[in-house]
Each structure stands twice: as structure tokens, then as C-alpha cells.
């Protein structure tokens, strides 16, 4: 079944640890995105990708990095986690074909807590 998967759903980790949030989609979409969302706040785009080997930074500056080696996979990495990184991270994808509906398809999110 076509879907977008995020793991882990919840992660509690100590300061200074390296973490990777996984995102995979079987939607056949070229475009993928990472949003950061604090409770009660809007979603902020932190990274996006047009396709394989394409990554760009979004509107909100983030210390995280992303990679896109395979079309279906768009992991996000924090080399050294800090309490300020505590947030929910949402992965999304969208269609490429034109005219695009403009719809984003979201994963269930990864809630990160850094102690």
C-alpha cells in the first residue's frame, strides 16, 4: 500500500548524541520535505528535496542535515542533539506531475525529546 513511513515515532535521547530520523515513502513521489512543529505552533519547512541527490534548506534554519540517495528515502540527521532540538518532525512528499494538485502527504511524525 502506498504510504509514507517515519521511524522512530518517539525518541528520548541525551544531549550530544547523534540521531537519525528515518522517512520512507512508497508513493512514487519525487519531492520530499521535512517540517518541524512545536506544540501549538505552525509547521516550519526545514529541508526539501526535488529528487535523488537534491537537497535544499527550507525557511527555518536548522542544524540538522538530510540526504537523498534513493528516491523513496529521506533521512534527517542531527550530529549532536541539544534540548533546543526537542520538537516534532514531520516528513511529507508530493507529486511531481503537472498540473500538480499541490497536496502534501504526511507521515505520522517523529517526536524527539532531548534531555
Partner 1 sequence: AQRVTQPEKLLSVFKGAPVELKCNYSYSGSPELFWYVQYSRQRLQLLLRHISRESIKGFTADLNKGETSFHLKKPFAQEEDSAMYYCALSERSGGYQKVTFGTGTKLQVIP
| Residue 7 lies near partner 1 (rule: CB under 8 A) | no
The span from the CA of 61 to the CA of 64, in Å, is 9
Question: Cα 94–36–110 angle (5° rounding)?
Answer: 85
Find out whether the peptide bond into 8 is cis, omega within 30 degrees of 0: yes
Q: Which stretch binds partner 1 (CB under 8 A): 13-21, 27-35, 68-76, 77-85?
A: 27-35
Task: Please tell me whether residue 31 binds partner 1 under the rule CB under 8 A.
Answer: yes
Q: CB of 102: closest distance to partner 1 in angstroms?
A: 4
- What is the CB neighbour count within 10 angstroms for residue 96? 12
Does the footprint of partner 1 cover residue 71 (CB under 8 A)?
Answer: no
27 sits near partner 1 (criterion: CB under 8 A) = no
Neighbouring residues of 38: CB distance < 8 A, sequence distance ≥ 6 = 87, 88
Residues that bind partner 1 (CB under 8 A): 31, 33, 35, 40-43, 45, 48, 50, 56, 90, 94, 100-104, 106-109
Amino acid at each position: 500500500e502506498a504510504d509514507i513511513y517515519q521511524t522512530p515515532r518517539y525518541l528520548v535521547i541525551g544531549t550530544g548524541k547523534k540521531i537519525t530520523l528515518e522517512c520512507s515513502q512508497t508513493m512514487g513521489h519525487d519531492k520530499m520535505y521535512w517540517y518541524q512543529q512545536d506544540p501549538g505552533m505552525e509547521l516550519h519547512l526545514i529541508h526539501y528535496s526535488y529528487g535523488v541527490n537534491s537537497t535544499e534548506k527550507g525557511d527555518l534554519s536548522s542544524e540538522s542535515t538530510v540526504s537523498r540517495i534513493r528516491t523513496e528515502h529521506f533521512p534527517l540527521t542531527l550530529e549532536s542533539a541539544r534540548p533546543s532540538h526537542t520538537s516534532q518532525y514531520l516528513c511529507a512528499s508530493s507529486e511531481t506531475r503537472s498540473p500538480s494538485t499541490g497536496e502534501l502527504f504526511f507521515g505520522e511524525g517523529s517526536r524527539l525529546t532531548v534531555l
